[in-house]
Structure 1
């Protein structure tokens, strides 16, 4: 059994709306189609997605059908705090100080981790022995992969995730023996 954590495709960046409302950029949907052609997951995998538009559209393109949305798979809540000039630095700060509020309006990263891990564990428990594909977000998946592998969040991997991208986590039932591989597509 494996868990495939797919980061959404490239969105249209719109400084006037929160990132949680961004849509997938139609000009870059071909990258999602390329990932679909190289899919590392089996055809009978179980699918779920974050409700954010960029993730839901990525899931639709990959699965070639509507995919059930799970609210708690959404990205780190950044509270509509507006455009963050040093976004990477702010997220790195949040990841290294998980109990702190990295910026006004942001949820502490520990809350994101708790929410996403609980949602993923519930999905995995509902589908024992099945391969599962979750479509969502880089920060959320970095936190989930760390939890499932019993490691600290991998800041280098987070910084190198493409849009779209996949983190494959094997043997997710036993954190002590779990491994995660990052596949750039």
Structure 2
């Protein structure tokens, strides 16, 4: 079994709506489709409930896709446009127990949720590969637990939209998956 984390494609930004409601920008659908060759056939597919993630998954596979609430991005319940978004995310990584912005979930809570969700999905996967389609901040937290290292904001900053992070077989790393 191998685990693949897919970051969603470029969203169609709508400043009047919170980011968790954004869809994909269809002008970049081909950027998503290019990832098909980097993903396994016959895998189990799971997606964040956010439209941009689910629509990314739909462009990548004809396999059934199960929507899993625990794979959503760090909750950012705001329609505020944040000019220096990267600095706010950096603050979330630096102080994970505190909301980095009004209406944002503390990053420690995001990390706990995505790790717990992966543990549940591993229990259901059997020997099939897993493809999880979601979000950069959540995946940065999950990779930290899989590697036993702190979350890496520089790695977050280099993730493309879309991107694939192959993670190998996570089953042997259960002791690293903290909750």
TM-score (ref. length: structure 1): 0.90
Corresponding residue pairs, total: 176
Aligned-partner Cα distance in 2 for 1:76–1:68: 19
1:3 aligns to what? 3
2:67 aligns to what? 69
2:123 aligns to what? 125
Gaps of 5+ in 1: 179-185
Post-superposition Cα deviations, 1:49-80, rounded to whole Å, max 9, x if no partner, equal 00100000000110125511001100000112
Aligned structure 1 segments of 4 or more residues deviating by more than 2 angstroms = 174-178
SS at match of 1:130: coil
2:173 aligns to what? 175
**Contact residue 81 and residue 105 of structure 1 kept, 8 A:** no
Gaps of 5+ in 2: none
1:137 equivalent to 2:138? Answer: no
**By how many angstroms is 1:171 displaced?**
2.5
CA, structure 1 residues 116+176, in 2 after alignment: closer, same or farther (shift >3 Å)?
Answer: closer
**Contact residue 11 and residue 22 of structure 1 kept, 8 A:** yes
CA, structure 1 residues 65+171, in 2 after alignment: closer, same or farther (shift >3 Å)?
Answer: closer
**Contact residue 47 and residue 134 of structure 2 kept, 8 A:** yes
**Contact residue 48 and residue 134 of structure 1 kept, 8 A:** yes
Aligned-partner Cα distance in 2 for 1:165–1:144: 15
SS at match of 1:148: helix
**By how many angstroms is 1:16 displaced?**
0.7
1:32 aligns to what? 32
SS at match of 1:169: strand
**By how many angstroms is 1:81 displaced?**
4.6
Aligned-partner Cα distance in 2 for 1:128–1:92: 36
Aligned-partner Cα distance in 1 for 2:74–2:112: 11
Trace 1:88-103 onto structure 2 (pairs within 5 A). 88-103=86-101
CA, structure 1 residues 127+66, in 2 after alignment: closer, same or farther (shift >3 Å)?
Answer: closer
CA, structure 1 residues 62+136, in 2 after alignment: closer, same or farther (shift >3 Å)?
Answer: same
**Contact residue 7 and residue 135 of structure 1 kept, 8 A:** yes
